Each structure stands twice: as C-alpha cells, then as structure tokens.
Structure 1
Amino acid sequence: MYLQYRREKMKNRYNAAIITFAVLFGVAALWGVFQAKERRVAETQLENKYNRAFYESMQRSKNVEALLSKGLASGSPSNIDNLFADLWYNASAAQENLHQLPLSHQVVAQTSKYLTQVGDYAYAITKREQGTKFTERDRTIMRDLYGKAKTLNREMGVVQRQAATGTFHWGEVKAKLDTRLTKGSLSGADRSFQRIDSQMQEIPVLIYDGPFSDHLDRAKPLGVTGKAVTAEQAQKVARSFIDFKGTKISDVKSAKAVRGKIPAYSFEFRTGNKPTDVITINVTKTGGHVVYYTNPRTVGEAKISDSKASSLAEDFLKSRGIKNMVPTYTMKTNNTFTISFAYKQGDVVIYPDLIKVLVAMDNGQVLTYDALGFLMSHHKRDLPKAKISMDEARKKLNPELKVKAERMAVIPTAGKHEVLTYEFKAEMKGDTFLVYINALNGNEERIFKLLKTSYGTLVL
C-alpha cells in the first residue's frame, strides 16, 4: 500500500513537472515568436528608412541633371536666379539623403564632393550682380557638371534595379558595415557606389562669388471662400465627395484638426479590417472645400487604359462641381495613373490652379485627390492684354530650340505674383523643354524640362 502511494506521488510529481515544462516551453515559444515579430518589424522599418533616403537622393540628383540642362537651354540671364536657387536646393538635398545610407565614407566621397560643388557653384552664381550672371566659362562648366549628373543618375538607376531584384538589402548592408570595413570587403551596394564614385573624379574647379533669397509663399488661400461649416457638415461633404466605388463604410471618426494656412477638419472612413482600409480626407472649416483625400488600398492588376483613367478623372472632377479643368501631365506607377489638371480661363491655362487626381487602374476608382494648389491660388483673374504677339515671343527663344507646340498660360513667379506668358513646347538635341515667354515684355520667365519615362511624362 505504501509503495503504491509512493508510485502515485512520484507519478503526480512527474506529471506536474511535464506540465510545468510544457507551460514554460509555451511561454518561451510565445516570447520567441514575439521577439522575432518585433525584429522583423524593426528590420522592415530600417529597410524602409534606407529606401526612402536612396530614392529621395536619386530623385534630387535627377532634378540636378534636369536643372543643369535647363540652364544650358535658357536664353534669359534674368531667369538664372530661379534656376540656380533650385539647383542649390536639390544638390544639397541629394547629398543629405546620400549620407543617410549605410555606406562607408570613402565609397561615396567623390559623389558627395560633386554634389557639394554643384550646390556651391549654384549658390555662387545667384550672388553675382545683374549683368554678370552667366558667362561663356560658366556654360562650359555647366556642360561638364551636366555630363557628370547624367553619369550619376545612370549608375544610380543600376543600384535601384539591384535593390529591386534583391541583390542586396539596405538593412544587411548596415548590419555588416563594420565587419566589411575591418576585412576590406564590399557589399553589392558598396561596389555599386564605388563604381559611381570612380566616375566622379574629374570635377571642374569652380570659382564661387555669390547669395540667394528664398521664394515667398502665398500668404492667403484665395480659393477658400464661403461661410464657416461645422464638423457635422464637413463630414457630410467628405462622405459625398469620396469615390467609395460601392465600398461600405464600417466606421467614421474625426482625426486631429489640420492647422496652418488652410484650417480643416480631418476624417477617417474605415472600409474594412485591414490597416490600409482607411480613407483619410481633409475638409476646410471655411466653405467646406475638400483639400485632400487618399485611399491607400492595394491596387490589383491594371484592367483599364491610360486614356480611360484620364477620362474617369475628368468625370470625377465634373461630378464634384469642379469645372474648366484641363489635363496637363501624367504619371503611371504601380497600376495607378496620376493626372495633373490646371484651370482654364478662356483660352489661357492657369497653372497655379492645380489639382492632382490618382486613379486605380484595376477598377477606375479615384484613390487620391489633391487640391492644395488650387485652393491656394484659384480666383477670377483680370488678365491683361498681351503686348507682344506669339511670333514675337517665339523669336525670344534660344535659336537651337525647335518649337513643337504653343499656347498662352499664366504661371506663378517668385513671391505672390503671376505672369501672363506664351508657353512653347520645344526640343533641343533630343531633350524636350517648356519655355515661358512673358506676354507683356518678352522676357523668358521659366523653363522646364520634360522627362519621358515608362511611367509617363514628368516635368522637372
């Protein structure tokens, strides 16, 4: 009897030990899963951080190339200040983002030096006195800088494709950076940037002598009119404006109010259980105008054409009471199609009054509406009568440019001003430009480079 009692007691202890072990093992397993999940989240955030820095640096370096080519195409010394102020800003931003990447200093030294010199050179040009803005020697230097910019962007495109195909991951580059430095080995990213750096060696010697002043923002949103609206009224406006495409709304909540130049109510419309199933929209507190909304849902395979997407965007604006808008330029990416619309007053395109619409190409739903530019600038304009003809304006262009299209347009200038211009779409040595000649005095006001990509036409 005693032995049986001992055996039962030992068995109970054994079972208790097994249960305890199982509980501890389960807790450890859950903790491990939690830690693994947290690590994956951290790694994803790190990878996204480096991706953003790289793509921002690449975009800014593309802007540098475009601005340099625009400077070479410009026939107006008075336009140099604007061009070189933008050039300075973009070169500085490209360099800043480049240094956020997990790359050794020696690997990006020459690239960084190049961007520094471009920025310093641009800054110096804007400080010169009127009449000495741009010399033939400057043009020679710009040609050299432009050639280097083209090389830089071509090689950065190679890095972009390598990252996209998984040749390397930025998080791994960061994790192994110290080891590589001690052993002298390079990652795929390092090797790619080392190749870029090797082609940045011969940089022209620059002479600096110059300031630049920041452009002023418009002080008052001219397109925000009407009486004050309540949050309830704004929510009704938001619900009727969004293109839900038959999607049911499961919940609506007010987000933090938007402050700044256009005070607005912000709302979130939940349309599903996924984190991306939330549409955010901002409605002005004055007049109840929609400033912006976005639907971050995943877009499936494209089933509609570019022209159909553009037509749907036009129909969307008209159905919301937004009239006299004409499509200008487009961009296609990730099965979405973005169309920029400008207001048209009579026969004149009013570029400051800009609205951007993004359409999903799987079902034609409008996913993003951005009317910030329109609301800041839109008003009835008393347009002046042109003092020079289209033919006279055409003669003001760089003679190397070949005009392909022309029309009248109002464009913004530095500060709070606008100017009536003739817009010329022209080509030079395979590049396409938009040149704006002042319709009152014949001065060249602005110049843009059109960049044709597989995604559409970008204006830089």
Structure 2
Amino acid sequence: MRNLWIGILGTAFVLSLAWGFTEYRQAEQFERVNVNQYQRSLRDLASNLDQLETDLAKGRVAATSSQKVLYLGQAGTISESAVKDLAQLPAEENGLSYISEFLNRTGDFTRSLAYQISVGHIPTTEEDKTLTEVHERLLTVNQNVQDIVQRVDTEGLAWVDNPSVWNRVAGLWRTETAEAAAAATDGPSSSVRSGLDQLNASLQKLPPFSYVGEYDSRSVREPLALPKQEVDRDVALKAAKSFLSKVGYPSSGLEFSGVSQGALGVYIFKQGNLFMTVSKRGGKVINYRDQREFTERTLSPDQAKDKVAQTLKALEWDLVLTSTEDYGGYLQLEYVQDENGIRYYPDKLRITVALDNGQIIGYDSTPYYAYHQKRNFTKKLTLEQAKTKLRKGFQIKENRMAVIPVMGNREVMAYEFRGKYQDEEYLVYINAVNGIEERIQRIIKTPKGEYLQ
C-alpha cells in the first residue's frame, strides 16, 4: 500500500513538472512574440525618424518650390508612420504623449507648408524659423532613438525595467512620474521604455512651436461635448468602475492616482498595468489603456470587431467603423459619428482590441469630446454637380456626405467620393458649397488593413 502511494505521488510529481515546464515554454514563447513585435516597431521608428530628419533637412535647403513641396510633403507622410510605430512600443501610464504630439505637429506643419507653397505661397521668415526649430528638435529625438537601438544591439538593453521582488512586496516600486523621468534625462537609461520616457520628459520641458495648420487649428479652448457641471472624485471612480465592468475587467483594485488640470481636466485612476482618466466635467471616460502582455491569438479580425461592437453598444456608443489596422496581437480601430448619412470625421473614437480574448485594451475618446457639437451646414451643390469637379477618368465606387476639418480652424461639409484612378484607390472630398477640391487621400491596402496616405 505504501509503495502504491509512493508511486502515485511520484507520478503526480512528474506530471506537475511536465505541466510546469509546458507553461514555462508557452510563457517564454508569448514573451518572444512581444519582443519581436517591439523590435520591429523600434527599428521601423528609427528608420522613419532618420528619413524624416533627412527630408526636413532637404526641405530647408531646397531653393525651388517644387523641391520644397516634394520633401515637406514626404515629411508629412513619414511623420504619420512614425507616430504609429511609437504607439506599438512599451510606455508608462498614458503613453509617450509629448513625443507623439511633437511628431503629429511636425507632420501637420510640413503638410500645411507644402500645400501653401504648392499654390504659390512664399515661406515667410517666421515659417523658415519654425522649420529650423522643428528640424533641430527632431535631430535630438532621432539621435536618442538611434542610441537606444544601438544599445539594444550592442548591450542587449532590456525592453522594460524589472523591479526587485522585495520592492514589489514592500510596495516601494512606483510608476515613474514625468518629473522623475525629467530629472533622470542626463543619465543612461536602464531599458528601452525608460529611455523613451526620458525623451518624452525632455520634450515636455520645451514650449510647443507655433504655426497654422490642421492639427494646430483643431485645438479647442475647452471640450465642446462635455457637460459644464463638474463631478467629484467618487462619481468619477464610479464611472471608471462601470466602464471596466462593461469592457470585462474586474475593478476591485482601482485606485485614485491624481488630478490633471487644464481645458480637459481629468481624474486619474490606476490598477496594476491599467491606466485610465475620467473627465472632471461630466464624468466621462477619456482615456483607458491596459499594458498587459498578449497570449496566443485566438480571434479573427471580424470576430474581434464583433466583440468591440457589443462592448461599444453596452457603453452607449452609436458610431460607425471607418478604419482597421492589424498588428498581429491586436487591432487598432477608429469610429466616427454618423448622423442622417453624414459622417463627422472630427468626432472620432479610437479603440485597441486584443486578439487573444477580444477585450478592449485601449480607448481614446479625446477627439470626440473635444469637437462634437451641433453643426449647421447647408449644401449648395447637388451630387451630380459635385461629380463634375472630379478628374476625368476617376471611377466612383461609392459616395457620401462628410464633415472634415480644414486649415484655418474650420470645418466644411463635403461630398466624399471613393473611387479608382489608374488602378489605385482614392478618397476625394469636394466642398458641398463652392465645389473646391478640399482633400485627396490615397487608400493603401496592406496585410495590416487599409490606411490613408
């Protein structure tokens, strides 16, 4: 009998070892997938920043309008790619907001300047000064990122900092604040994430450069869609817990972390790798991010989008999906307001959904609450009149009405035409009042999905 029990216990021990080894190998495999994704995104970011810096340098030295338009236009496109690469990298709390804002503003400024030059504008002394300032800042950003890549290759620089077990138990390890990161910008970073956080903090110290463009002009003094009445911390916490419940996360450990002032003042809450903000005005969830690691992909993009649609319905959103990009472990989705067949592109909601379980792991409603409002547009052109403004040979596949932002702090109502010209697809926007061709966007199809250029 005793031998029997020894045999049973021995078998159980062997099985437990086998199970533990299998779990370890799976965890190791999932971690390798995350690292590979980080590697690809970091190298793409470094490559795009290098090209962006080159185009800005050429744009500064170019003497002819055609060359300035070429290089500044390319800079605008590459900056968008750099922002997307940056979003795939590990970051503390609410992300690398100052780097992202700088790249967004750089792209918007160069696109705006390229457009003005293309219609005969001669850059002013102030615009040349701004272009020089942007280029000098980008030189620093590019050098920092290139240094991080070199340290990954030569030193095996870790992707994230690993706090000691004792500090975890004692509760001494904290998420580094912007102030702490800023204080450490002179020292070598201990990981890719801390290096990017240091760079982010250094940009925070600099005043934003001034210009007139779409990104800059779409800034608002106060959010247009939030109620005037402010809520207290308890009401905000209740809203945060309700949100987490609807997206499928337990909220028992959610804790208040601080308050952010400004036009879009928010309460900040944290729970482990989870970070979220709730507006002081109205108690609306503005940002949410869960930086957990992904496990094995089990859902198709369509299945994940169906799950998101159910969650958004529970959150009382009634929006239409306009953009999908597949990054392997997750999807990035964009939704906009659609009323009476008119799409309001400024009123945007950005969602990130994991493909291992279909849960929302990223949520940004800032554009929606910043710009959503009642609008009064009256179109003067009929659909048939708008079609006459299109280039001959442009084959229309579909059309709709849309409201889009344009330079000069304005929005216009336009006819949106999706179609083909010489085997490539485009979106063309014709002003519904005066027939001006307001915008052209090329539709690029990749394995990750469709995106606009």
After TM superposition, the score normalised by the length of structure 1 is 0.56
What does the per-residue CA deviation read over 1:190-234, in whole Å, with 9 as the maximum and x for residues that have no partner? xxxxxxxxxxxxxxxxxxxxxx84442233311111411011110
One-letter identity of the residue aligned with 1:285: K
Is the contact between residue 257 and residue 265 of structure 1 (CA under 8 Å) also seen in structure 2? yes
Residues of 2 paired with 1:421 and 1:311: CA distance?
30
Residues of 1 paired with 2:69 and 2:412: CA distance?
15
Residues of 1 paired with 2:227 and 2:114: CA distance?
42
1:303 equivalenced with 2:298 (yes/no): yes
Q: Residue in 2 aligned with 1:292?
A: 287
Residues of 2 paired with 1:85 and 1:392: CA distance?
33
Is the contact between residue 327 and residue 342 of structure 1 (CA under 8 Å) also seen in structure 2? yes
Is the contact between residue 400 and residue 428 of structure 1 (CA under 8 Å) also seen in structure 2? yes
Is the contact between residue 84 and residue 123 of structure 1 (CA under 8 Å) also seen in structure 2? no
Q: Residue in 2 aligned with 1:221?
A: 223
Is the contact between residue 411 and residue 421 of structure 1 (CA under 8 Å) also seen in structure 2? yes
The secondary structure found in structure 1 opposite 2:434 is: coil
Q: In the alignment, which of 353, 358, 361 is matched to residue 359 of structure 1?
A: 353
Q: Residue in 2 aligned with 1:170?
A: 150
1:380 equivalenced with 2:382 (yes/no): no
The secondary structure found in structure 1 opposite 2:419 is: strand
Distance 1:374 1:83, change over 3 A: farther
Residues of 1 paired with 2:267 and 2:412: CA distance?
33
Q: In the alignment, which of 427, 430, 437 is matched to residue 444 of structure 1?
A: 437
Q: In the alignment, which of 250, 260, 263 is matched to residue 261 of structure 1?
A: 263
What does the per-residue CA deviation read over 1:90-138, in whole Å, with 9 as the maximum and x for residues that have no partner? 568999xxxxxxxxxxxxxxxxxxxxxx9999888556595689xxxxx
Distance 1:426 1:246, change over 3 A: closer
Deviation at 1:261, TM superposition (A): 2.8
Residues of 1 paired with 2:343 and 2:109: CA distance?
36
| More RCO (CA 8 Å, sep 6+) | 1
One-letter identity of the residue aligned with 2:295: G
Distance 1:89 1:172, change over 3 A: same
Q: Residue in 2 aligned with 1:345?
A: 339
Deviation at 1:309, TM superposition (A): 1.5
Q: Residue in 2 aligned with 1:274?
A: none
Distance 1:318 1:244, change over 3 A: closer
Q: Residue in 2 aligned with 1:319?
A: 314
The secondary structure found in structure 1 opposite 2:264 is: coil
Higher alpha-carbon deviation: 50-59 or 405-414 = 50-59
Q: Residue in 2 aligned with 1:42?
A: none
Deviation at 1:269, TM superposition (A): 1.9
Q: In the alignment, which of 411, 421, 425 is matched to residue 418 of structure 1?
A: 411
Q: Residue in 2 aligned with 1:252?
A: 254
Deviation at 1:302, TM superposition (A): 2.1
Deviation at 1:60, TM superposition (A): 8.9
The secondary structure found in structure 2 opposite 1:251 is: coil
Equivalences for residues 150-189 of structure 1 within 5 A: 170-171=150-151
1:389 equivalenced with 2:379 (yes/no): no
The secondary structure found in structure 2 opposite 1:236 is: helix
Q: Residue in 1 aligned with 2:59?
A: none
What does the per-residue CA deviation read over 1:145-171, in whole Å, with 9 as the maximum and x for residues that have no partner? xxxxxxxxxxxxxxxxxxxxxxxx733
1:458 equivalenced with 2:448 (yes/no): no
CA RMSD of aligned residues (A): 4.0
The secondary structure found in structure 1 opposite 2:409 is: coil
Q: In the alignment, which of 421, 424, 431 is matched to residue 431 of structure 1?
A: 424
Deviation at 1:402, TM superposition (A): 2.1
| Identity of matched residues, % | 26
The secondary structure found in structure 2 opposite 1:427 is: strand
Residues of 1 paired with 2:152 and 2:228: CA distance?
54
Distance 1:91 1:347, change over 3 A: closer
Higher alpha-carbon deviation: 305-314 or 434-443 = 305-314
Distance 1:430 1:301, change over 3 A: farther
Deviation at 1:362, TM superposition (A): 1.5
What does the per-residue CA deviation read over 1:313-359, in whole Å, with 9 as the maximum and x for residues that have no partner? 22222211222x11111011132122211101111011110001111
The secondary structure found in structure 1 opposite 2:311 is: helix
Residues of 1 paired with 2:384 and 2:72: CA distance?
31
After TM superposition, the score normalised by the length of structure 2 is 0.57
Distance 1:283 1:94, change over 3 A: closer
Is the contact between residue 393 and residue 439 of structure 1 (CA under 8 Å) also seen in structure 2? yes
The secondary structure found in structure 2 opposite 1:383 is: coil
Is the contact between residue 230 and residue 285 of structure 1 (CA under 8 Å) also seen in structure 2? yes
The secondary structure found in structure 2 opposite 1:255 is: strand
The secondary structure found in structure 2 opposite 1:337 is: strand
Q: Residue in 1 aligned with 2:201?
A: none
Larger radius of gyration: 1
Distance 1:351 1:327, change over 3 A: same
Structure 1 unmatched runs, 5+? 1-44, 66-80, 96-117, 134-168, 176-211, 271-277
Distance 1:234 1:302, change over 3 A: same
Is the contact between residue 72 and residue 113 of structure 2 (CA under 8 Å) also seen in structure 1? no
